[in-house]
Amino acid sequence: MGNQNIAIESDLLHIFPDILFHDERAGYEGYIIKPAHLLSFMQRLRDDLGYDYLSSVTGVDYLPEERMEVVYHVRKSIGGSPLVVKAQLSRDNPMISSVVSIYPGAEFQEREAWDLLGIKFEGHPDLRRILMWEGFSGHPLRKDWKEGYFEEDGKPFKSRWPAGHYKSAEEKNPLGTNLDFPAGFNPESWVPEPEVALYAGLTKIERKDEETGISTEQVIVNMGPQHPSTHGVFRMAAKLDGETVVGLKPVVGYLHRNHEKIGERNTYLGNMPYTDRLDYFNSMSNNFGYALAVEKLMGINPPERAEYIRVMMAELTRIVNHLALFGFLLNDLGAYFTPFLYAFEERELILDIFEAVSGSRMMCNYFRFGGVARDLPEGSLEKIKDLVFDRLPRKIADLDLYITNNEIVRHRSEGVGVLTPEQAIAYSTVGPVLRASGVPYDLRRAQPYSIYNRFDFDVAVRYHGDVYDRYLVRLDEMFQSLRILQQVLRDLPEGSIQEGKPQYQVRVPAGESYGCVEGPKGELGFYIISNGKPNPWRYHVRAPSFINLTPLESMCIGSKIADVVVILGSIDIVLGETDR
């Protein structure tokens, strides 16, 4: 397959003469497409060349060159590395055709690029802001946009040393003068507008029964942002016909903190603990993806022992995540907190290990470029062995025994929220959501990273695409993770855990890189552009929780409002990552 890939890729320039060019910049890969031909190119890429799976769409602001770039990572659902295609636009009025008609999975990602970078996508069905609120002025990821407590473009700030006379941000910007309004805006006389644009997508229809003469009206119900079933601050505006959902728009961004802008201010190393806070259940696998992306740019590889420890932590994290999800999902199904606490008991034992190894239960910050922070402390390996060989298999089998065939669980979840394999690929879903729809796509096999090609494990896959299968896929995955862990523990070599000397100021050569891991929620990617300075020029997170929400509406239409809770639970979102 590898050879075939190369053949097609060398042919690409022949298939698309005069519209496609190699990206010749040092450290860059992929192709540059003329923006006017984007749609016809993407259409052929998908239909004739097998690139049916759009992984990521994002933008980059090249302020010094007065240019805006849209970057597409397109994959084949049969595996392989992504094809990177870029379109270069003018910075003053960046405009490009939307690819939503070809890859529906681009919908939210293009909205994000519009919101944060101001790139207009012509032909997008619903181009509204997504993370910032309607009425926000400016596009925060543009390089000339500055935040409220702006100090300097990049850390470390000069005011901290050697004359670091402490001054809090509030002192420097006292209340009342710390706000910056657009010209002509008066907060006293401002009346909030109803969310016209949001509800425009949910037009109500009135129906009249001919026989009885009773007319029924559809109602719009807002679930969230403060609703226990949304697992955080997430809102769904659902249009209901009786109890049946006929339309649904997710509203996100309540936890938005512009993680990417913060990342661009941070040093490379300084950003590692911030990645912990994306999907706060799985800080280890967030660290993993970020470390891979930066290591690719630096051209270093961690030593053997560090690789094994990394895989060990990533797989333990997967078990933690799926256990937590089982707890939450069963809460959503009405099994109030008993199964949740049983699942959390196992999670606690794994977090004890994380605490002993990394120093923190959830915000692990354990990975470093070219290794891990420290070796396993004495005694923790025995604890891990006890869990992996004895307790976890027993307890997960228990969960299987008590939940899997429980009639209430099955009645509530079978046939609910169905996503067909074609839809799952088109909507760019990843992880267990994709695999429950019968697409055996797992990055650990599709584009093996780290040392995953050494281990014997199966890609868990189920074929009905409903909530029940998403549950089963995760159950299977936990057993597969245990299999990997058992091999890791068998083969774990002695040796160093860090390549070279630990450095606090890493030198990252100019270029771009995309590092991705199969996190517990799916493909978690970090797209980084370096210009050789201590801070990244662009830092983008391809967040699985965010992109997996794209098909939420089509999964919910036709089901009852009570099922929406379960469907959302089965996608497994964490708002820290969705909203970034």
Partner 1 sequence: MSDQRDNYMFGLGVLKGLGLAFRHFLETYLDDIRHWGKRYKSPEGIAYRASKDVRGIFTVQYPDEKIPVPEEFRFVPFLIYEEKDGVNEYRCTSCGICAKVCPPQCIWIVRASDPNTGRPIPDPADFYIDIDICMNCGYCAEYCPFDAIKMDHNYELASYERTHNVYDKTKLGKPVSYYASIRPINYQREETARIEAESQRAVRKSHA
The contact set with partner 1 (CB under 8 A) reads 155-157, 159-166, 168, 266-267, 269-274, 335, 338, 342, 345, 348-349, 352, 355-360, 363, 365, 373-374, 377-378, 383, 386-387, 390-391, 398, 401-402, 404-410, 414, 472, 476, 502, 504-505
**Shortest distance, position 405 Cβ to partner 1, whole Å:** 5
Please report, for residues 238, 245, 470, the alpha-carbon distance to residue 415 in angstroms, rounded to integers and kept in the order given: 20, 15, 11
Complex with partner 1: residue 243 or 414, whichever CB lies closer: 414
**Shortest distance, position 243 Cβ to partner 1, whole Å:** 25
Instruction: Supply φ then ψ for residue 531, to 5 degrees.
Output: -115, 25
**Shortest distance, position 292 Cβ to partner 1, whole Å:** 20
- Asked if the bond preceding 448 is cis, omega within 30° of 0, the reply is no
C-alpha span between 449 and 464 (Å, rounded): 29
Complex with partner 1: residue 1 or 163, whichever CB lies closer: 163
- The identity of residue 36, as a single letter, is A
Q: If you write DSSP's letter for every residue of 472-489 in order, what string do you get?
A: HHHHHHHHHHHHHHHHHH
Complex with partner 1: residue 335 or 433, whichever CB lies closer: 335
Complex with partner 1: residue 33 or 272, whichever CB lies closer: 272
Complex with partner 1: residue 107 or 276, whichever CB lies closer: 276
Complex with partner 1: residue 74 or 439, whichever CB lies closer: 439
Instruction: Supply φ then ψ for residue 75, to 5 degrees.
Output: -120, 170
Other beta carbons within 10 angstroms of residue 363's beta carbon come to 16
Q: Is 301:371 a contact under the CB 8 Å cutoff?
A: no
**Shortest distance, position 488 Cβ to partner 1, whole Å:** 18
Beta bridge pairs of residue 22: 31
Radius of gyration over alpha carbons of the chain, in Å?
24
**Shortest distance, position 374 Cβ to partner 1, whole Å:** 7
Parallel, antiparallel or unpaired: strands 367-368 and 371-372: antiparallel
Edge-to-edge strand order for the sheet containing 538-542? 511-519, 522-530, 538-542
**Shortest distance, position 143 Cβ to partner 1, whole Å:** 20
First to last CA, the chain: 36
**Shortest distance, position 5 Cβ to partner 1, whole Å:** 33
Other beta carbons within 10 angstroms of residue 122's beta carbon come to 10
Complex with partner 1: residue 112 or 577, whichever CB lies closer: 577
